[in-house]
Structures are given as C-alpha cells and as structure tokens.
Amino acid sequence: MEGMPMKLVTLGLSLLALYAIQKYIELRRAIQSVQYHPRKTALLAQDSVLGNILARIPGISMGGNVAWESKHQHPYNESGSQHTPKRAGMLLQMHISILPSPRVMLSLADAAAIKEVTTTRFRFPKPVSQYKALSFFGDNIVASEAEEWKRYRKVAAPAFSDRNNKLVWDETLRVMFDLFDNVWGSQESISVEHALSLTLPITLYILSAAAFGQRISWKDEDTVPKNRQLSFKDAIVEVSSSCITKLIVPSWAMGFNAHTRKVRLAFDELESHMLDMISNRRYAEKKAEKDDLFSNLLDANAEDPTFTDRDLMGNISVFLIAGHATTAHTLCFTFALLALYPEQQELLFQHIKSVFPDGRMPTYEDMSLLTYSMAVFNETMRMFPPVNNIPKYSAEDTSITITNAAGEKRVVPIPRRTGVVINTVGVHYNPRYWKDPEVFRPGRFLEPDWPRDAFIPFSAGPRACIGRKFSESEGIAVLTSLILRYKIEVLEEPQFASESFGERKARLLTTKPGLTMKPVRVPLVFKRR
C-alpha cells in the first residue's frame, strides 16, 4: 500500500507521455499530408485567445498582430527553398501550433486561391465557434453558418436596401452639417488631439439613425427614461466602445470592478431599450414608414415567425458592433493619409469641385460620380484593412491551387479540419498585384484593370460583408462633405518639430490590434477653406 501513490504517479506520467506521443504523431501526419513548406511553429495557436493577446515570442506565440507587422515581407517573401528562392513572393504559409491542440493552419495571400476558398463555402466554411462570443443579444448572421446563416441572410439582405443606403447618406450629411454649423461654427481652425475622437461619434450618430432609427445630435442633452438607468445614447456609446471587455471577461466576473459593472449595465440597458423599441413599433396605433435597419428587420420578423425578437436584437447589435468601429477607424486612417499626402488631398478636392462646379452638396444619387472619393476610401482600406485575417477551415479532404512567382501552378492538398486563414494584409501588400504597395496612391483604383480579386476588405464570396454599401455610402458622404469645407493638416507639436517625413508617417499610422485595426494617435488640424 505504501508504494501505491508512486505507482499512481508513474501511471499518470505514462498516460501523459502516451497522449503527447499520440498528438505528436497526429501533428506529423497532418504536416506530411499538407506537403508544403515553408512553415512556422509556435506553441500557441494564432487564433487562440492567449495567442491573440500575447506579443510575438519565437516558439511560443506568433502574436495577434503578426499579419499586420509582417505585411507581405514575412513570412511569404523571406521563405524559400532550392526551387523557390527567397523574396519570390510566396503565396502560402504553414503555421503549426501545439496548444490548445496540435493543428496545422494555412495562411493564404494568393488572390486566385482566396477566391476559390471564399466562393466554395461548403468546402471551406466559417469556424463559427470563434464568433459565438459576438452573440451578445442573440444569434446573428456573423456567428452562424449553413442553413442558419442562409435564413439570416435571406431576412437581412432586403434590410440593406437602396432606400436604407440613401438614408445612410442623408443622415451622414445631417450629422456632418450639425458638426460644421453647431460645434465648429465660425472657427477657422479646429485642432484635435486624436482624430478618432471625431470619427467615432460621427459613425455612431449615423448608425444610431440609419440602423436604429434613433437620431442623435452633437449637442443633445441626454434624457433617461423613468424606467432606465442610462439613455439610449449613453448605452450605445458604452456598448460600442467596450465590447472587447464583454468578449474577454466571463459573465460571472463582470461585477468585480467599476469598469466591468459599467459595461454590464450598458449591455443590459441597451437590451432593454431595444425591447422597448420592438414593443413601441409593433403595437403603435399608426405605424410610420421607416427605412432604418431595425424597422426593416422588424418587418421581416412579422413576416417570418422563425425570426424571433432575439434574432432581431442579435443581428442589429452585431451590425452596430461590426459597422461602428470599422468605419470610424477607416475614416481616421483616411484623414491621416490625406494630411500626410496634401497633393492627394488637393486632387480629391479638385475632383469634387469639377463634378459639382455649382458648389452644391452631392446627393446619394450622385455617389457614382465621386470616383476619386471612392478611390481614396478604397486605398485606405487596402492599406489598413479592418480585419487582418479571415478564418476558414476545410470541411473535407480537399485541395487548392496556388501559383508561384514564376507563374507555375501547384496543387496543395488540404486534409479535413485544417485551418485556412485568408491573410488580408498579405494579399493587399503583395507586390505581385499592387505596384509599390506601401505607397498611398488612390489613382490605382481608377485604372480599368486594377486587381479586384486581390482587394478583400469586406471579404469575398457569399460570406462577404452584407453592409458593404452601407459603409461605403457613409464613408464617401463623410469624406466628400468634409473635404469640400475643410483642409486637413497634421497638428504641429513642438516635440516632433525635427522629425522626418518617414518618422511622421510612422507616428501617425501606428496601429494596435482589437476587434478591428485601430489607430493609436492621429493629431490633426481642420482648416476652413
């Protein structure tokens, strides 16, 4: 009996060793079945929670921001073999990780292969388990796949109508004119410490009106309903800015400090506001015709009994979370780039003036004429795509075809359950598709043969972002209205007086990871024209 504990320890260690050997064999088989090099190995999976939080530690973590930090220079261009020399523009990279379980993940920067993956969603579905945390208020189109996704897509697609896009445009101009007339007023020069403090409320106020049908003005005084603790404005501001906290902190720990309690309250209050909105609109004696997303989805809710109130709240809230920060960050980067490249800003201004020589403000129907505004917006999203990596996985034993720098095609086998990552940054900075990819040159999007398959800021295929036109309408209206009235410049600060253009560019365009790529600090001046 005295030797029993030691025997149990020995047995436990033996079982652990056998388990480790089994997983190692599984991993080696997976690597051999893919038959592709080069590869990078790390203990933690890139798409794991810990792997995303940690910085890049060789052998331990690839880092959550590795795609952005490396762009197309690493690992694609630095990898090679006797058949594929270094800097040849490799288009596929293998990532190997051990935890939470041994796995192989392929990272793609080949436009043709990406198109194959995104257009055959049954072979390469979305790993919805990674998105379930976004189901704050209910299941939704982002965190679903297969038949459930098709049901949500069928209901949501009509909501993103041309009438809704026109509403987006009109509400954007309302928000911008409210800013110009009632906040900036007669000031000749307006300085901001960080342009994100401007773009975040702009996009939030637009979303509130175009998504929820709730208008918010810059100088509105918050009114809290008697049965609520927060106004709709305060609740939606806190939810949109604190969803990361909600994602990473378990529900049982949300009351541990003042910040998490505030976040919990905001989510509870927004849910209550949405339930009130559903009830008020559903049982109103006289129903008003509205084109906001909430009203459109509520109509769908009435026509399809399988589309529940939880589905309605789940989808409208994920549109809020997905649409708010992404457009706000893109606009912030756009303003920074135009400030850094005044010649491009002048080209944009002159183009808008040439289209509207009478000085009138463009309408939604004029949007197609604003080709340079669209080119600037697209070039910003090429250089700063909202999402660096788009995860998929192989549902079956399959293969994809890639092309090397010499134009030679190669079929790469992909075993079932292999992770496949679409590297948005890698393809957007791939010199095979984009000349001088590090250079801000909007005119490339005015060329008739620009590489459309290598531009995927909204993903591609059937699972492409349903709100693309919503975002574009909002972004172009903001950009055009602002440039017509104001010139954007970098805020001069004494401590940076001697910096070079390269140093200034690096400073203004510094990013940090989050739900979407976020600018760290963009100090600007807006001068009345």
Q: Give strand pairing partners of 422.
A: 108, 390
Copy the structure tokens of residue 64.
Answer: 């959550």
| Torsion sign across C-alpha atoms 492, 494, 498, 499 | negative
Nearest to 108, CA basis, from 412, 449, 445? 412
The answer to whether 465 is annotated as binding is yes
Q: Rounded CA gap, 6 and 145, in Å? A: 49
Question: Residue 250 is which amino acid?
Answer: P
Closest CA to 266 of 307, 230, 295, 297: 230
Chain centroid to Cα 457, Å, comes to 8
Burial of 223-238, coded b for 16+ CB within 10 Å and e otherwise, reads: eeeeebebbbbbbbbb
- For 488, list phi and psi in degrees, rounded to 5: -100, 130
- Which phi-psi region, left, alpha or beta, contains residue 146 (left: φ > 0; alpha: ψ -120 to 50)? left
User: Which tokens hold the place of 504?
Assistant: 């200034």
Q: Which neighbouring-strand residues pair with 133? A: none
At a CB cut-off of 8 Å and minimum separation 6, what does 196 contact?
Answer: 328, 329, 332, 518, 519, 522
Q: List C-alpha distances in Å: 72 to 69, 143, 425, 459.
A: 9, 29, 7, 18
User: Token pair 């010199």 is at which residue?
Assistant: 431
Known binding-site residues equal: 465
Known binding-site residues for heme equal: 465
